[in-house]
Chain A
Amino acid sequence: MMRYLVKRLLYAVPILLGVNLLTFALFFVVNTPDDMARLQLGTKRVTPEAIARWKAEHGYDEPLFYNPKAAGVDKITDTLFARKSAAMFVFDFGRSDDGRDIGREIRTRMWPSLAIAVPVFVIGLAANISFALLMIFFRGTYLDWAGLALCILLMSISGLFYIIAGQFFIAKLWHLLPISGYSGGIHALRFILLPVLVSLAAGLGSGARWYRTLFQEEVGKDYVRTARAKGLSEVRVLFGHVLRNGLIPILTGAVAVLPLLFLGSLLTESFFGIPGLGSYTVDAIRAQDFAVVRAMVFLGSLLYIVGLMLTDISYALADPRVRLG
């Protein structure tokens, strides 16, 4: 187990390095810091001095990979790559274009994100699995067919629709919950209820349909016939045998996205005014704040790799056939 983790961590390094190089290339090589400065300052009538000043203010006034002017090790470290990209390996995210410490923002904003994402994840998983099982239990009947049709309908509607319709009907028309906003402590519940409900509705269609396919595959296997031949009831076959096997890909798949919950949901958070990482990202993209986008890319891929590791570990725990090695 330990050996596996060490191996996996070693494997993560080249991937993160790849991510870093890719984003670095996108942000600094394809477009130079000069372009960025021009964009921020407005394209017309920008003096070279203004550009230089902007670059100096934001720390973009260094060479990309190699600094011949510096001395010793600084030749490598006094560069944009070392400062802006490689620094992220030690979680030094730097400052956003408006001068705030990105690391601190991330630490405070992840809690509202989690407050929405965790309930959505947990309840959503349970709801999707239950719905899928229900369809499987009634497989071949009109109920199954209707359930499937509902799933396809639900997944054909844009996520934006659920949010807008939820805000309009539940909040505006019926005044059941606030339209948007957030507050800490116990009052948070009032604010997170609507976003959570909306997210659940938006995810139900594709989730339940996918799980139904997985369960259906299991139901067709030989061991299910064996279980029936033992005299087990359909419910016990479903819960004792089919669910146990079908849950393995479902849970391991779910574990993979677990770390990404930190990042929150872009749409939900920005529509409902939740001060989480999702809305932070959207705001940064809209304000063309490259420092924040870069930080979020790095964080996202780091969490993705953690998710991959968790998947493997959960596979080994859930499936006796899998050994980590």
Chain B
Amino acid sequence: MAALLQVEDLNVSIPVPGGLARPVAGMALHIGAGETYALVGESGSGKSMTALALMRLLPAAARLRAARLVLQGEDLLALPERSMRRVRGGRMAMIFQEPMLALNPVLSVERQIVEGLALHRGLSGAAARAAAADLLAQVGIADARRRLDSYPFELSGGMRQRVLLAMALAGDPALLIADEPTTALDVTLQDQVLGLLRRLQGARGMAMLLITHDLGVVAEQAHHVGVMYAGELVESAPRSAFFAAPFHPYSRQLFLALPGQGRGRLAQIAGHIPRPEETLPGCRYAPRCPRAFERCRQEAPQWRVVHGEHRVRCHLAQSDPGYALAPPSTQAAAAPSAASGTVLRARGLKVHFALRRGLFGRRLLRAVDGLDLELAAGRTLALVGESGCGKTTVGRALLGLTRPTAGTVEARGGVQMVFQDPYASLNPRMRIASTLLEGMEARGLAPRGGRADVVAGLLAQVGLPHDAGERFPHEFSGGQRQRIAIARALAVRPRILICDEPTSALDVSVQAQIVNLLKALQAETGLAYLFITHNLALVSELGHGVAVMYLGRIVEQGPAREVLERPRHPYTRALLAAVPRLHGEARAVAVLPGEPPSPLAPPTGCAFHPRCPQAQAACRVREPAAVPVGPEHWAACLLLE
């Protein structure tokens, strides 16, 4: 059977000052009808640009060249723009990563869906409205008719992504390109949307090009996997073959960098991805490849068949087809320095924000609503929860940036914070040295030795070159900036470090570097971490203890291993079940329906009861108390009482 989409030697080039950038080079793709092809890669690998090239939606300056770009037997490159518009949104549709930005803010949902219906199915008036409502129902939006009149800002994040999907389905596409469709969503919503995509795909026989950085999502969704690196496809294989034995050293490194596999130290890839305007004579991965040899640097590798449809672009496939990757260095994580008592204790912590509405109206937002925490020296407590559960507010309150409404915080030793966004957490106008010394100067701590020595010491501690101090933040990558942020916090020698999603903006290989650094620092200095995250894999990697938050309260807390292996609260169980798995089959039904309620109007009784699969009448009325379920392990659920 001829593939639905055939792409051979696709190239995108953009003129830049001082050369020609090639964000995509020599791309090749074959997607069969009804098949899901997952394109995996880190940021800057050119996967989104590939998608735009297929749609012929590249920026005006970009040039598109391909040996073959054929959809359903039709050469898309030969089509005039007018005919291409029939294809776009018709036979080939696309959904994007940021649903809020991808929807027009001032047009109603109906208008935006009907636009596609009118264009590709010739519908108008009542028929179009009915069809639009039908589409909304298909993507799982309850009360579809009423939602048609909504505006994007009135919808929740998950709903926006569903609306975007409904828009894409309006033209009844044969191929759906999904560009990181769940990256902006929480894990339970991601689970819902992925399930929806699978259902729709099955029902419509639609092919899908899924672009993602998340190997877990790939494992659950894809039939075929392509790995991209620096603009090139480096490996292409059926899912099972790929997950059983990834061949390309880059693919293997990606797996080894994944947290939560219990391998000890995570693999990290040295160096950084070459810029799109950099031309290299050999393999583009060679400068970072642990297995690179002379030929890799001189000659670009050609496609080699590993087995069947499993193909790879690596010289090793020819020179050493049976090569086995050296087993990851399983140096056991350094034993945590002996816990020496509590360094941070919060009791009954409440943070309420008064939102002004109108002239006199006031509404109370209960961001944190009665929370107890304890953190021991040299230990890591992971605070887990979905966005909006109040976990960031907890961090800010512990640091003193937000004044608690009630409750006490006792800290023995200084508290510092590492923030989420490495691009916003460093002043772009300040030299790194000034940034690092700022805290000491503000505290009146005389730097031991000269300023330069202090800066060099801090930089060495986080593994940055000693001359970094004289430079400015824009000269550093995201991972390096996060190292600087850690060094800044360390400068005032705190005993407690609050890490607010420090790796969520980073690629997985860079995340590994930061995780390894944090572990090493803890072993060295006995720092205590409060690690705020939504990524459960990181919990098992870093956390000694874990606290699960839902709507301003902790619903389960205990030793990390205990909680992850024997979760007792239904919410914890759902969270764990929603994480896409590298091995094993995808679930048919979403583990958790709906979305978290607003903290402006929390449900009565147990806050989780509207979504809880095991909710009973009593849950609606009575607030659950903490029930011990194991050593240092408790959960707040009426079912356990």
Contact = CB atoms under 8 A, between A and B. Distances in A.
Interface of A: 3, 7, 139-140, 221-223, 225-233, 240-241, 244-245, 248, 318-321, 325
A13 to B, nearest CB: 15
A230 B55 CA distance: 10
Interface string B127-158: 00000000000000000000000010100000
Given A223-B101, A321-B151, A321-B153, A229 B57 contact: yes
Given A231-B90, A231-B119, A318-B106, 9 more contacts: A226-B96, A226-B102, A228-B57, A229-B88, A230-B93, A230-B171, A320-B105, A320-B151, A325-B358
Contacts, number: 84
Contacts of B102: 222-223, 225-226
Interface string B352-367: 0000011100000000
Interface of B: 55, 57, 60-61, 82, 85-90, 93-94, 96, 98, 101-108, 115-116, 119-120, 151, 153, 164, 167-168, 170-171, 357-359
Nearest to B111: A240
A227 B101 CA distance: 12
Contacts of B120: 231
B106 A325 contact: no
A232 B106 contact: no
Contacts of B171: 230-231
B153 A226 contact: no
Contact of B119 (A225, A226, A230, A318): A230
Nearest to B91: A231
Given A225-B96, A320-B106, A231 B101 contact: no
Contacts of A221: 101
A143 B433 CA distance: 48
A210 B602 CA distance: 46
A140 B59 CA distance: 11
B359 A3 contact: yes
Contacts of B89: 229-232
B87 A321 contact: no
A93 B517 CA distance: 75
Contacts of A318: 106
A228 B55 CA distance: 9
A226 B88 contact: no
B106 A230 contact: no
Contacts of A3: 358-359
8 pairs of A and B residues whose beta carbons are closest in the complex: A231-B89, A222-B101, A230-B89, A231-B88, A223-B104, A320-B151, A325-B358, A231-B85
Given A7-B359, A140-B60, A320-B153, A248 B106 contact: yes
B87 to A, nearest CB: 7
A233 B88 CA distance: 10
Nearest to B119: A231
B411 to A, nearest CB: 40
A225 B119 CA distance: 16
A244 B106 contact: yes
Contacts of B101: 221-223
Contacts of A231: 85-90, 116, 119-120, 171
A321 B115 contact: no
B105 A321 contact: yes
Q: Chain B CB within 10 Å — which of A3, A223, A226, A325 has the most?
A: A226
A301 B622 CA distance: 59
Contacts of B86: 231
Given A233-B85, A320-B151, A321-B151, A226 B358 contact: no
Contact of A230 (B98, B167, B358): B167
Q: Chain B CB within 10 Å — which of A231, A245, A321 has the most?
A: A231
A226 B116 CA distance: 11
Contacts of A241: 104, 107
Given A3-B358, A3-B359, A325-B357, A226 B103 contact: yes
Contacts of A232: 85, 89, 115, 119
Contacts of A225: 57, 96, 102
19 contacts: A3-B358, A7-B359, A221-B101, A222-B96, A227-B115, A229-B88, A229-B94, A230-B93, A230-B167, A231-B88, A231-B89, A231-B119, A232-B89, A233-B85, A240-B115, A244-B104, A245-B105, A318-B106, A320-B105
A230 B115 contact: yes
A233 B115 CA distance: 12
B57 A222 contact: no
A302 B94 CA distance: 51
Nearest to A221: B101
A238 to B, nearest CB: 13
A320 B153 CA distance: 9
B74 to A, nearest CB: 15
A93 to B, nearest CB: 33
A248 B107 CA distance: 12
A226 B107 CA distance: 13
Contacts of A227: 104, 115
A318 B107 CA distance: 11
A225 B101 CA distance: 10
B26 to A, nearest CB: 25
